[in-house]
Amino acid sequence: LKSPEALSRVAATEPDLILSIRFGLILPQTIIDLPKYGVINLHSGLLPVYRGV
């Protein structure tokens, strides 16, 4: 996701919103900054007990 090619592919879609669901990687700030309405991250971990897992 940090490669220039990945960034240009995502940027080319001109996203309004990015949904990150059970995605095992941290999105780089360059990807997070692309969508007009931001990024929503959903995960199934129990918080705060398993925070960061």
Element (H, E) at 30: helix 29-32
Average pLDDT rounded to a whole number, residues 13-37: 94
Neighbour count for residue 50 (Cβ, 10 Å): 10
pTM: 0.75
- Give the amino acid at 41: N
Nearest to 42 by CA among 18, 15, 9, 14: 18
pLDDT at position 45 over 80: no
Report the C-alpha gap between 9 and 52 in whole angstroms.
Answer: 29
Report the percentage of the chain scoring pLDDT > 90: 64
pLDDT at 50: 73
Average pLDDT rounded to a whole number, residues 16-23: 94
